Structure 1
Amino acid sequence: MERPHQLHWHRSSLEGVIVPSSQPLKVEERGLAIRVFDEIIRHFEPCQATDIGYKPVTLIRLMKNEVSEKDEFLDLFFSFIHQELLGEREGTGLEQVLSHLARYRIWSAEETNSLRDCLVIFAKYLVNNFFLPLKALAVKTPQPTPALSHSRTPEATFGTPQRVSNLRQACLIRDRHRCVISRKFDAEEGQGRYKRDGPNSKDDDGKSLLEERDNMAFLEVAHIIPHSLMSLTSEEGEWRLADSKQIAYRTLRMFNPGAIHLINGVDIDRPMNALTLTHDLHKLFGNFDIAFEPVGSEAHTYKIDYVETDRMGRVERLPVSLTLYLTPDRSIDPPSQLLKIHAAIGRILHLSAAGDYIDDFLQDIEETEAGEVMPNGSTRLDDYVWFRLGETSVY
C-alpha cells in the first residue's frame, strides 16, 4: 500500500496555547475579524499545499462556515495564528492581532510564507485534536452481550456495558425493531417472535413478519456523537473530562453548544443520541460517510445520502427520504441538531479530504499493531507512539 505523507505533530494539547474566552466579539471586532479571515482564506486557499494529505486551508474555511459559534472559532483562530507567528503568549488583544494580520499583503515573502505555514499548523491542530479522535471513536459503539440485552436493570445503572445495553433496548423499541434507514427488521427479535408465535409472528405495527423473513438483519445501536468522546474519568474522587479530551469537547461545542449540553456525561448514552442501524450502515454512519439532511420544515424528516454522492462502495441504495419513528411523548427522539452536527462534520471531512487522510492513518496504526513494519522506513512509528501515548484521549 502506498503510504500517505508523514504526519508532523506540532501541537497535541493546549499546552502553551492561550485559549481565549468564549465571550462574544464586539460588533466592530466581528466585522473586521470576518473580513480579515475571508481575505486570508481567499488568498491562500487556491495555492494551498496538499502534500500533507488533505487541504488545510479548505478545512479551516469549512469549519468557520459550519460552526454556529463563529465568534469563538474566529477568536481561537486569530489567537493561535498570532501566537505561532510571533511567539507571543499574552498581552495582545484581538484588535491588535487583527490590525497586524490585516496588513499581510505588504509583508515580505518570508513573512507571508510563515503565515501560510501557520495555517497548515492550525489545520493540523484541528485534525489531531478533534477530527482524528472523533473518527477513531465514531465506529466504536460497544454492542451489548445477549445477557445484557435482555436485562431489565434500570437505565440509570452506573457502568457503560449496562447503559449501552439499556440504550439498545430503548432504541429498538422506539425504532420499532427496524433499522431507521433500510427499515429491515431485527433478525434476533424476529427469531424470538417466531419461536413464540410461529406463523402468526407480527412486527410492532401488527403486520406479518413472514414476508420479511429473508430480508432481516442483525441491528446495532449507533451513537450520533461518539460514546467515548465525552466519557468521564475519576480524578481525586471527582468525575470529569480528561484534559486530553477538553480540546475535542470545546471544538465540538462550537457546532452547537445547546445541543452538546444535552449529552454531557452519562447523557451521551441516552436514546436521543443514538439510532438503530444495520452493521454496514452503522459503519458508514460512524465513519461520517452518510448523513441525515433535513427535508423541508417537516419535523424528523430527512434525506439520507452518501456524503460523497458518486462513491463506488455503496452497500445501500441511497438517497432515501424518510421520517424517523417517534415515541408517543417524543421524549427520546434524536434532536435534529445532533444530526446536523454529524452532517456538518461529514461535509468538512469529505470536502477537505481530511477524512481519507485520517482513514489512511488509522489503517497504518492497525498494520503497525499487526507487526507490519516496512523495511524502507515508511512505517510511521513516531506517529504510532504519539497516538498510543494519547490513547486515553481516544478510547
Structure 2
Amino acid sequence: MELEDRESDFGQGCLQRDGDRCVVTNTLSSEKRKKLEPANILPWSFPCYSASRKDMITSNLWTTLFQCFPEIRSVVQSDKINEIQNGLTLLSSIHRPFSDFQCAFEPITDTPHTYKFVTFEGFPAETKASLRNLPQQINFVTGSPPTPEDRLPHPVLLDCHYRLANIFHASGMTEAMGKTLRRAKKIKAGSLLEHDGTTDLASALYYAIWQTVAI
C-alpha cells in the first residue's frame, strides 16, 4: 500500500476512534479556528533515510530503540509506524511539541489507559496557558461501547515516548532532537534530501539515551 494511502487510513482511523476530538483538550474538529491532526506516538520521521543509506539508517535506529526499550519490539516495527495504536488526535498547537518530546503522557500506575498530560521545557507558553483548566487525568477508554483495546493508543508506546521525553529533557537534547526529527521528516517527504546520507538520527538517539543512563 502506498505511503499516502497508509497516512490517510491512519489519520481517519485516529479521528474516528477519538471522536473527532483532541485527546488532551477534548476540542471538537468542528470548533472554529481549531485544527486537529493525527500524531504518531513514535514519530513518523524515526525511520528516516537518504536514498543511498535507507536500510542502514533505519536498521541502526530501530536496533537502538529495541535495545533501550525491548518491550516495543512486539508492538510496532519500522514498516508499521502508521498503525492506529501508534497514533493520537491532537490540536495542531500540541502536535508539534508532542513530536518534539516537549510534552508526553505520564502513565497513572494501576489505572489502565489513564495518563497525566505533562509538559517539559520548550513547550510553548501560550499553548501551556490555554491548558490550565484541563482534567488531572486523561482516560482513553471512552465511548459506548468502549473502544477495543487493540485500537487504543498502545500503553507501551506511550510509556516509551514519555521516557524518551524525560531522557531528552534531562540530557538537554530536547531542542536538538526536535530539530533533527523535523529535518528527518523533510528528508522523508523529499523536500530536503541529503545525497550523502549525513542525517544520522540513530546516533543522536543512542547518544542521548546512553549518556543519560551513564549519569
Q: TM-score range by the shorter chain?
A: 0.7 to 0.9
Secondary structure at the aligned position of 2:25 is classed as coil
* Cα deviation, residue 218, structure 1: 1.6
The question of 1:335 aligning with 2:154 is answered: yes
Conserved? CA contact 2:97–2:123, under 8 Å: no
* Cα deviation, residue 280, structure 1: 0.8
The question of 1:299 aligning with 2:112 is answered: yes
Question: Which runs of structure 2 are paired with 1:1-395 in the superposition (5 Å)?
Answer: 158-187=1-30, 213=31, 217-230=34-47, 242-308=55-121, 313-316=125-128, 317-318=131-132, 320-326=136-142, 327-358=146-177, 389-390=196-197
Q: Which has the larger radius of gyration?
A: 1
CA distance in 2, matches of 1:277, 1:261: 25
* Cα deviation, residue 388, structure 1: 6.2
TM-score, normalised to structure 2, is 0.72
**CA deviation digits over 1:294-329, x for unaligned, max 9?**
113111110001023x96724032574210145543
Number of aligned residue pairs: 184
Residues 1:245 and 1:393: Cα distance change in structure 2 (over 3 Å): farther
* Cα deviation, residue 355, structure 1: 1.9
Residues 1:329 and 1:362: Cα distance change in structure 2 (over 3 Å): closer
Residues 1:230 and 1:357: Cα distance change in structure 2 (over 3 Å): closer
Conserved? CA contact 1:272–1:334, under 8 Å: yes
CA distance in 2, matches of 1:168, 1:234: 27
Residues 1:334 and 1:160: Cα distance change in structure 2 (over 3 Å): same
CA distance in 2, matches of 1:222, 1:164: 10
* Cα deviation, residue 264, structure 1: 1.3
CA distance in 2, matches of 1:343, 1:179: 18
Higher relative CO (Cα under 8 Å, sequence separation at least 6) belongs to: 2
* Cα deviation, residue 160, structure 1: 0.7
Residues 1:389 and 1:252: Cα distance change in structure 2 (over 3 Å): same
Residues 1:325 and 1:171: Cα distance change in structure 2 (over 3 Å): farther
Secondary structure at the aligned position of 2:38 is classed as strand
Secondary structure at the aligned position of 1:229 is classed as coil
Q: Runs of 5+ in structure 1 lacking a partner? A: 1-157, 188-212, 236-240, 366-386
Q: What amino acid does structure 2 have at the position aligned with 1:185?
A: L
* Cα deviation, residue 265, structure 1: 4.2
**CA deviation digits over 1:66-93, x for unaligned, max 9?**
xxxxxxxxxxxxxxxxxxxxxxxxxxxx
Residues 1:182 and 1:227: Cα distance change in structure 2 (over 3 Å): same
CA distance in 2, matches of 1:339, 1:224: 6
* Cα deviation, residue 352, structure 1: 1.3
TM-score, normalised to structure 1, is 0.41
Q: What amino acid does structure 2 have at the position aligned with 1:160?
A: L
CA distance in 2, matches of 1:274, 1:360: 21
Residues 1:173 and 1:357: Cα distance change in structure 2 (over 3 Å): closer
Conserved? CA contact 1:179–1:219, under 8 Å: yes
Q: What amino acid does structure 2 have at the position aligned with 1:345?
A: L
Residues 1:393 and 1:352: Cα distance change in structure 2 (over 3 Å): closer
**CA deviation digits over 1:348-375, x for unaligned, max 9?**
1111112234557889x8xxxxxxxxxx
Secondary structure at the aligned position of 1:356 is classed as helix
**CA deviation digits over 1:12-41, x for unaligned, max 9?**
xxxxxxxxxxxxxxxxxxxxxxxxxxxxxx
Q: What amino acid does structure 1 have at the position aligned with 2:73?
A: I
Q: CA RMSD in A?
A: 3.3
Question: In percent, how many aligned pairs have the same letter?
Answer: 25
